[in-house]
Amino acid sequence: MEYILYEVDGAVGTITINRPRALNALNSQVLEELDATLDAVDLDTVRCLILTGAGEKSFVAGADIGEMSTLTKAEGEAFGKKGNDIFLKLESFPIPVIAAVNGFALGGGCEISMSCDIRICSENAVFGQPEVGLGITPGFGGTQRLARLVSPGMAKQLIYTARNIKAAEAYRIGLVNAVYPQEELLPAAMKMAKGIAMQAPIAVRNCKKAINEGLQVSIEEGVAIEEKIFGDCFETEDQRAGMGNFLAPKDQKLKVVPFQNK
Ligand code: CO8
């Protein structure tokens, strides 16, 4: 892989978009390598992913403007689909994905972060959808996910004005969960990821599925999805281990239950 680094530390995998000379902009090759990296994640051992960008300046400065500049209508649509398919894969990836946004998250960069389950960022992070200034619409899910994540009015304001916002404002509008000094960002992401990876993995996966699927349907359909997924947790070894430990005598309780993903 030329543009993607993938490292595994215990049950946490870290994907780094590594094209710092172009501020980690997403060209076709980066997208294809990201897709292949996701396909290669060993879901028997890895329980949480972190997605970040190389360097201290940029997470992802958008889709590659040079590559997009000469596209025809049909090629533009196909490029949008290519990004959308991969971002949908990320959004519905079986395990949680934390975006550790370490700088610019513009256009496709903001959009890829919104495909992750959780966003945290560094103090120098900048978010925005600058597309209308380039003569295009957001094309990797921005018109859909920003409105769902913040509010339709705030999403419309950000998208129509192409205004970039700093970390503090991203936090204020709920686009990110927390802001850290740059050097503390990856350790914080790792701490959160390890905290997630310690929990019962079938239950964590099921929570992701229930939340994601439930957000697309009515509350009645959503709670029906939850009932099914809740039921699916029972009779698993994880459920027996988790509840068994809670009910065990105090002197036999484990501090960390060794959940097995079964
Ligand atoms: N694409 C290609 N190259 C880029 C990009 C990008 N998005 N962003 C930065 N680069 C390159 C620059 O061209 C430059 O390269 P070089 O050194 O060879 O000239 C290098 O990265 C460093 O960038 P700058 O010199 O510009 O660095 P500054 O610190 O001066 O500025 C900025 C940093 C403000 C981030 C600036 O680079 C910038 O504005 N970048 C573009 C941001 C942007 O508009 N992103 C949105 C792109 S559109 C998009 O993402 C749409 C997604 C959906 C597409 C669907 C298609 C159908």
* Structure confidence by residue, pLDDT tens digits, 35-86: 999 999 999 999 999 999 999 999 999 999 999 999 999 999 999 999 999 9
Q: Closest Cα partner for 119 from 174, 48, 81?
A: 174
Which pLDDT does position 190 carry in this prediction? Answer: 98
Active site members: 111, 131
| Contact between residue 69 and residue 35 where contact means Cβ atoms under 8 Å apart | no
* Structure confidence by residue, pLDDT tens digits, 180-198: 999 999 999 999 999 999 9
- The H or E element containing residue 161 is helix 152-161
**pTM for this entry:** 0.97
Which atom of ligand 1 is nearest to 76's Cα? 57
Rounded mean pLDDT for each run of 10 residues along the chain, 262 residues in total: 97 98 97 98 97 98 96 96 98 98 98 98 98 98 97 98 98 98 98 97 97 97 98 95 96 93 73
Q: Closest Cα partner for 196 from 49, 37, 51?
A: 49
What separation in Å is there between the alpha carbon of 174 and the centre of ligand 1? Answer: 25
Binding site membership of 108 for ligand 1 (Cβ less than 6 Å): yes
Binding site membership of 128 for ligand 1 (Cβ less than 6 Å): no
- Cα–Cα distance between 91 and 253 in angstroms, integer? 36
Which pLDDT does position 260 carry in this prediction? Answer: 87
What separation in Å is there between the alpha carbon of 127 and the centre of ligand 1? Answer: 13
